[in-house]
Each structure stands twice: as structure tokens, then as C-alpha cells.
Chain A
Amino acid sequence: MNALRPSASLPGDSPVESPSAPLRAPTPVSRDDFESIYAAHFKQVWGALRRLGVREADVADVSQKVFITAYRKLDSFEGRAHVRTWLLGICERTASDYRRSAPVRREVATDVATIELTAPERTDVVAELGSRQRLQIAETLLDKLPEAQRAVFVLFELEELSGPEIAAILDISVGTVRSRLRLARETFTREVQRLTARGLSEMEGA
């Protein structure tokens, strides 16, 4: 069964012309190139999947799915877009399927210390938290974004794709990308402020 929903376009189909990308003739890609792609992008794919909502326990399997898909689609890729953008498109669709099909529990870390961040100057407490706890908090915050907003937020703020690139990946207009980004930022900031106002104890049971 093909786990991916058929999508109208892939980044590789419609060339994404970011200003600095030179025009070049489509380069046929060989299977040999796949190994290089894997080696060069494995870590990025891993991180992107995690940021798009794939749980730590599942990311190894889901990244396999991404690379298997990439392997199958190599022939149609033709090298017209950047490999990274193309792979992130596959990541987004794979993560989306993962979230829809797997009952992803919005787990909150139960070992997050109960710290009252009641005063603005105590925001440095987050810095003092172990990096693992900080990450768990950040993940929980991202989980609060509706999926459409989260995808745009992650692809723009964390994967650092451009608006046009994201539009191509998600098959939406650049205007839609920008408005989703604005909404996502508002939601994110609001959730962070809730965190500050009420303390991390509120996150348990969220």
C-alpha cells in the first residue's frame, strides 16, 4: 500500500526557482546518487521529521519510509529542484500520514520539573533546564499548532525554506503560506506566554 496520498505536484515536478538557484538542464539521476543523498541528508531528514511531529520512538522507521520514497521517486526528480527541498517535501507528506494514521498521543513529559515561571526574569529558568526537558517543552508547544500551521512554521522557521519553496511543497499559494505562518507565530507566542504565566505544572495533563 502506498502510504502517501497522491499529491498534485512534487517539488521536483515544478521547478522551484529561488533567486540564487541557477537554471540547469535536468540531470538524470542514477541509483548510485541515492547513497550520496542518504549520507548527506540523513541527519536533516531525522531532525525535520521530529520537528514535524514524529515521535522519537518512531523516527527511525519513518525516516526509512522517507528514503524509500525518495529512492522510488529518484527517476522523476530530475535534479531540477534542490535535493534538500525535494526531500523536505517527502518528509512533510510522510509526517502528515504518520500523524493521521498513528494515534499520536500528545504526550507531555512527566519528568518536566514543576517550575513556576511567574516573573519575566525567570525565563532564564528554561535555559537552566536540561536540554532534554527544553526539547520536550518545545515539542509540546509545537503540538499545539494545528497541523497546517505547524508544517509552515517548521519549514520556514526551522528548516529555513523560503515562502515560495514551502508553497511548492504544500501545493498552496505563497499568500496562504504567509498567512498560515502569521497564525502559527501567533499561536506559538500565545502558548509560550501561557507557559510563562502559569508555570510548567500546567503542562502536565494538557
Chain B
Amino acid sequence: MVSDPKRLLDQASATSELERNLLHSLREIDPPADAAAQGWQSLAKSIAVAGAAATLGSTSSSIQEAATLGEAAGSGASSGVRTVATTGANLSVLKAVSALVLVGGAATGVAWSVGRAPATAPSPIAVVASAPPEPAQTVIPTQPPPWVAPVELSTPAKITSPRAAAKSAESQDLLTKESELVVAARAQLRQGDVRGAGATLQELDRAVPHGKLAQEREVLRIEWLAARGDHKGAARRARAFLTAHPKSPHAARLSRFVD
């Protein structure tokens, strides 16, 4: 049987430099950091996943609690917003997926997000988000709810697919995790939860030390410093950032710290 040709982007292919360049630019398309979380919010509404955790009695009170907090706290919500992604590339080794409530302000109330509660989370509000499983097709999770047994964050999925899929799935996992935490930190800063944001930034450093969203994280760190009153520190780091990345899209945002 004739096998597939080499890909244009293979090292061994005689592809011109220009073509390689252009093809690489197509491969590097990435969504904005908060696109996944935002997409999930509207997706959950569309498919009515939310609010259907009637199967697990222990969750309904948690959902109630979270909903109350969401309504009461409004824009000043200080609950920890932590979302960490799991990977599900190989369905046969999926563990139970737990969700953290993304408290997005009074208007939206409770929205759903994907994640596992990190072991070091300060006051996580964790509920399991699952639609009522149809009996004929459900895989019943056997793990205890996440707030009972902290789950290892960086368990790589056992992937049995070809090399590229395995590698990219794992780095995908980290990148998704990183972006979820970035989204969370940004939300916390926006809501005035400076301590929570600091904890999330710390978690980022711990869980994804060499992540791809370095610039976004640095910007958040600078904003965090300013938020807790360390204006000198914010100015110093902003100046350093602008020197290192003068053409960065974040430059405009940071210039106000430098005056």
C-alpha cells in the first residue's frame, strides 16, 4: 500500500523557506486566553448542562450555596475562581470530571466551568457539573467528589494515539490549564480580589512554570502589584516589560504604570 507523502512542514521536505514561514503562521493561530471560558459559559446555556446535577444529592446544596454567593456578592465577589483543565484525549481513561463554579458577577449568576479543584485552593466552591446521565450510556464515575480527595493536577492522560497527538495533547493540557488560570486571575483582579489573584498567580508559577502565556502573566503580575499598592514595583516591572517587548499588544495597557 502506498503510504502518505511527507508533509510540507517536515524537516526533510523540500519546501521553500517562504512557504514554511507562511504555513507556520497558520499553525500558530491561537484563541484569546479567555475564549475557552467564555465559550463554555454560553455553551452551557445552550446545551443546558448547568443545573442538572440532580443525580448527586450532595451537590445541590453546593449549587445553592454558590448561587447565593453569586447573587449576594455581585461584582465584589471574592470567591476563588479557579479553573483548571483536564484532558480527555483518550476517553477510556477519563476520570470523573468535576467543575468549579465560575462566579461571574450578579448578572450571570452561576456559570459552569471545567476543572479540578487544586489541592491548594483557598475556599474553592466545587460542584460536579453533569447532566443527568442516560442510564444506557453512562459511565458512572467512581471517584469521590473533588473537595474530598484532592486530585493530582498534572496527571498526563494515557494517550495511545500517534506520537504527535500524544505530545501535543500533553502540551495542550498545560496550555489549557495555564489559560484557565490566567482567566481566573484576571477575573479576580477585576472583582477586587487581590489576595485571590495573588494566590492564582502563585498557582500559575507552580503548576505551569514555563508556560506559553508568559506575557499575559507578567502583565497580570504588574497589575496585581499596583492593586496591592506596590506602585514602585509595578512601575519597575512595567518598564522592564516595555523594554523587552516594545511592540507587544500589552504595551498600551502597561504604559499607565510607568509615568
Determine if B94 and A162 form an interchain contact, defined as CB atoms under 8 angstroms apart. no
Number of interface residues of B (CB under 8 A): 68
With contact pairs A31-B49, A35-B97, A39-B87 given, residues A157 and B7 touching in the complex (Cβ less than 8 Å): yes
**Neighbouring B residues of A160 by C-beta, 8 Å:** 7, 164
Determine if B39 and A60 form an interchain contact, defined as CB atoms under 8 angstroms apart. yes
With contact pairs A83-B91, A135-B29, A162-B4 given, residues A39 and B85 touching in the complex (Cβ less than 8 Å): yes
With contact pairs A30-B139, A33-B88, A131-B25 given, residues A39 and B5 touching in the complex (Cβ less than 8 Å): no
Assess whether A32 is interfacial by the CB under 8 Å rule.
yes
**Would you list which residues of chain B between 7 and 41 have a CB under 8 Å from chain A?**
7-9, 16-19, 21-23, 25-31, 35-36, 38-40
Determine if B23 and A157 form an interchain contact, defined as CB atoms under 8 angstroms apart. yes
Determine if A35 and B31 form an interchain contact, defined as CB atoms under 8 angstroms apart. no
Assess whether A123 is interfacial by the CB under 8 Å rule.
yes
Q: Which applies to chain B's interface (DSSP): helix, strand, loop or mixed?
A: loop
Residues of B within 8 A of A (CB): 2, 4-5, 7-9, 16-19, 21-23, 25-31, 35-36, 38-40, 42-43, 46-47, 49, 85-92, 94, 96-97, 99, 114-115, 129-131, 133-134, 136-141, 157, 160-162, 164-165, 169, 172-173, 175-176, 180, 247
Residues of A within 8 A of B (CB): 18, 20-22, 24, 27-44, 46-47, 50-51, 59-60, 63-64, 67-68, 71, 75, 79, 82-84, 123-124, 126-127, 130-131, 134-135, 137-139, 141-142, 156-158, 160, 162-163, 178, 181, 185, 188-189, 192, 196
